[in-house]
Structure 1
Amino acid sequence: MYPWLDPSGRFSFFKLAVFVALLVPGIVLLWPVIAEGGATIPVKEAILESGEWTIRILLITLLVTPLRRITRFSKLGQVRRQIGVAAFCYVMIHFGLYAISQNLDLGRIASEIVLRIYLTIGFVALIGLAVLTATSTKSAMRRLGAKWGRLHKLVYPIAVLGVVHFFLQSKVDVSEATLMAGMFVGLMLYRFAHWRGWSLRSVVTLSVIAVIAGLATAGIEYAWYALATGIPADRVVAANLEWMWPLRPAWNVLLAGVAISVISLFGRDKPARSWIARLVGNNSVTAEASSR
């Protein structure tokens, strides 16, 4: 029941730190709304920020399993549900703030969801997250059995819907949406590599994933500007070929992948370390036998 307790019921500083980290963005984005008494501008800004945090936290949820495999840090598995529930809480904040911006007019809200495709997509994603959250408990896992795993694979299409909603809502400046799309592609590549049996502890594998994800991100950005806007897509290509600040989404995705590759070098219980330990042990035995 308490987010700072581990499965055995003992206090976990790690789980508490994750809980606080998930709580802070919500406090920061809601504080201006509360301080200004629900004024229009703070509400609009909070709607955008809460939507962005929903996607970010949802992608962090998808990052937990690959990162646990890469680092062998088993405690990461203890916070996956906590992060997933946080994503649902943020999407509810997002929807609640939108309802406030519409003066809580349920008829108007319903008609907007039906008539505006990006709102329809976002609402379907919200319903999907609600279902996953409601069935994330241990009792639900026992009741659903094998069906639970299949049901929770819906997180992947839900993430796609969230990213598409982000793109459609962003309209012209899609840098953040492109970054989220690229991160999602990278996370799917990690899962594909694991499915194929490729080692997620291999720097080569992780580096290739980073490069492919970065290129895919550049391709997504190019496709959006070429198909959905009147902005010349060639400028996007030129921008991605340059090192500039702030970095283009493709560079950010590439660097994130490289960072994970570096992190893999320091993962726990690395086979290489075990091999070195055995080698040292064998040499010690040989030396001892020679001295006798």
Structure 2
Amino acid sequence: MSFFPGKDPEFGDAASCDAVSQIIVPRTSDIGGFEVRRALPTIKRRLVGPFIFFDRMGPARFGGHGEALDVKPHPHIGLSTVTYLTEGEIGHRDTLGNHTVIRPGDVNLMTAGRGIVHSERTPEDLRLRPHALSGVQTWLALPESDEETDPAFGHTEKNALPTISDNGVAGRVVLGNFCGLKADVKTFTDTLFVDIALRPGARFQFPAEHEERAIYVLEGELTVAGDRFGQEQLLVLSPKDPIVIEGAGPTGCRIMLFGGAALDKPRHIWWNFVSSSKERIEEAKEDWRRGRFGVVPGDEEEFVPLPER
């Protein structure tokens, strides 16, 4: 959903503990009452594992009377989008004919490959009553060998995802392998994405089994190696060393752990397009300008035009 005019993230204070190598402070954009915080990419940090884009959506409150999220059909290439909600619902449609409602704890993974178009809108039954929306949308850059793969879509309900529950720690493995648990969701490289809540004083070890790792603080506060960090910060962790995370403050914290294997080579990103080739991005621009991506069944009347930049 990079059609959001999200502002570039900023770096926070220098990390004071060896376990945290970078602190990224997302900048907030208000899009018609809907807040978006963009944590990746930044000038100094383009990716964490395959994660090339990380947006925190909301929390937002819609008052009914037609107030809703309406993301018109728009294209992607060279990536997989991952949508994960903590509140609310989003209706997804795409050019493959999929029509799915995303609910909290579910994971939507749409692989664009050589090209796909999708829309994201508030379901009709929510539009006339007050409702909330909160969650995360990320993009996974595909390996160079898979950038032109056939587009695909997968929806996994939360009950099918493995859960963590132990001594004040509760969570869900959304993508990849973590602490002996594996989410049955297809990814193209080693990928980690985990939703975890810690009560105040609860401790949890984040192992170093993945090449690159980061933490996004959705709610509350946590400590890492004795240093305290607040919500809406992205902490890029130093490689190779396991760290201990502890819930802090009066409520503890809710965090997203993510990362995985570093990509094989740098990626270019422009609007909704990701590729190892600048020429391929130029080709995608022309394809969208000329209407070659196809239409979304059930959402054929509108689309997001190519930005003039």
Greater strand proportion: 2
> Higher relative CO (CA 8 A, sep ≥ 6), structure 1 or 2?
2
Shorter-normalised TM-score: what interval?
Answer: under 0.3
The TM-score normalised by the length of structure 2 is 0.23
More helix by share: 1
User: Normalising by structure 1, what TM-score?
Assistant: 0.24
Larger Rg: 1
